[in-house]
Amino acid sequence: MGMFDTVSDETIKEGRCTDIYFVRTEEVLEKEKVNPLVSMEVTAAALPDGWGIVCGLSDVLALLSGVPVAVDAMPEGTLFYPGEPVLRITGHYRDFCRYETAILGFLCHASGITSATAHIICEARGRPVYSFGSRRQHPAIATMIERAAWIGGVDGVSNTCAPDGMPIVGTMPHAMVMCFPTPEDAWRAFDRDAPADVPRIMLCDTYCDEKTESLRAAGCGATAVRLDTPRSRRGNMRSIIEEVRWELDSQGYSRVKIFLSGGVTKEDVTAYRDCADAFGIGGAIANAPVIDFAMDIVEIDKKPKAKRGKKSGIKQVYQLVCDKHRTLPVGQVPPANAIPLIRSYIVDGRVVQQSDMQDARKRVLALIHHTIEANEDKTKPGKKNGKNGSQKKGTFSL
């Protein structure tokens, strides 16, 4: 164990971070000289929101590189439905038995974050969304959280340990405001001293009501005001946001945007996307429900075999022209123009294809764009900017 009760990379790579029954299984099989060639598939019987997004494959590849197995999987960023295999491992069981705990941990956690993020981005209808939730999890996994959120479609992340290739965003906490005699002193200091490329987004609910502090911040050069305590406010948050917007407009600050954070959920994004300009999402992303994947044998010595409740035989998942999926046994002829989703990543222990974070993100953004367009079609003719309609991409930027 490390200083902070974490498990080292070496411990995970060596298979020493596992459930004890895998160790005991290994011991029994070795003593009995049993080591069948198996294929195991990873599936989820149910999903929190109907569909999910695969994430965590990059860590699985790092884990199994050099292990004498074959790995086939859906690329990260691919949409999947309940019951569809997202990853398959083929090899002699004792060679990878003890890695099941880590494999499922990588996929369950990251896929849960990415899936929840993608659903939130769909609801935002083009309003920018930022990941503010890594403080809700152990700091040792901050990189994973921000990577998964980025693949899921957020416009930026807050943690300084995020992988390269994404915007690191954020301005000020309540504590900074409170370190100065007045909020105005804090806002002006930030305006003077923060790097020029950091937007002047002022936190506006430290001491008094949001409307009052927002107007004062606008007078100190704010490009946006951040309202960070929707969960602790009594009353109607929509009314508060609309009141702030009204007063900013009436006082000549119509260009000042409204940024909502602080316990914001997917439901809040749906409810306020027509009156807030951007969202900072914490726990709803970082603490998203994990995808409850299971990893099961579907073939032994190249013959279909599965426990009850599971479908035997190795499978391929196809995307059809109508955007639906179809799962078929490997080798069965698919429908015309069907696109196979499961690809080869490891052959005989050698990684033959890496998982690229930016490519994964592009897949998700294309899905989100398609989903938003489909929802717009359902509402036509009708509202374009209302709570249930569509909106153009906001100009707000952190």
DSSP 139-185: GGGHHHHHHHHHHHT-SEE--TTSPSSS-B-----HHHHHTSSSHHH
H/E element, 205: none
Cα distance between residue 33 and residue 338, in whole Å: 43
Tens of pLDDT, residue by residue over 88-141, are 999 999 999 999 999 999 999 999 999 999 999 999 999 999 999 988 999 999
pLDDT at 166: 95
pLDDT at 387: 41
pLDDT at 67: 98
pLDDT at 386: 41
pLDDT at 208: 87
3-state helix, strand, coil in the chain (%, to 5): 40, 20, 45
pLDDT at 182: 96
State pTM to two decimals: 0.93
Cα distance between residue 300 and residue 37, in whole Å: 6
Q: What is the mean pLDDT of each run of 10 residues along the chain (398 residues)?
A: 87 97 98 98 95 98 98 98 98 98 98 98 96 92 97 97 95 95 97 94 92 95 88 73 96 96 94 96 96 98 96 97 92 94 98 98 95 73 44 47
Alpha helices per DSSP H over 166-286? 174-178, 183-193, 210-218, 237-250, 266-272, 283-286
Nearest by Cα to 226 from 253, 260, 198: 260
pLDDT at 383: 45
Cα distance between residue 356 and residue 58, in whole Å: 8
pLDDT at 209: 85
What 3-state DSSP class applies to 89? strand
pLDDT at 379: 61
Cα distance between residue 246 and residue 242, in whole Å: 6
pLDDT at 395: 43
Domains of the chain: 9-113+289-358 (3.20.140.10), 170-286 (3.20.20.70)
Tens of pLDDT, residue by residue over 153-207, are 999 999 999 999 999 999 999 999 999 999 999 999 999 999 999 999 999 989 9
H/E element, 88: strand 87-92
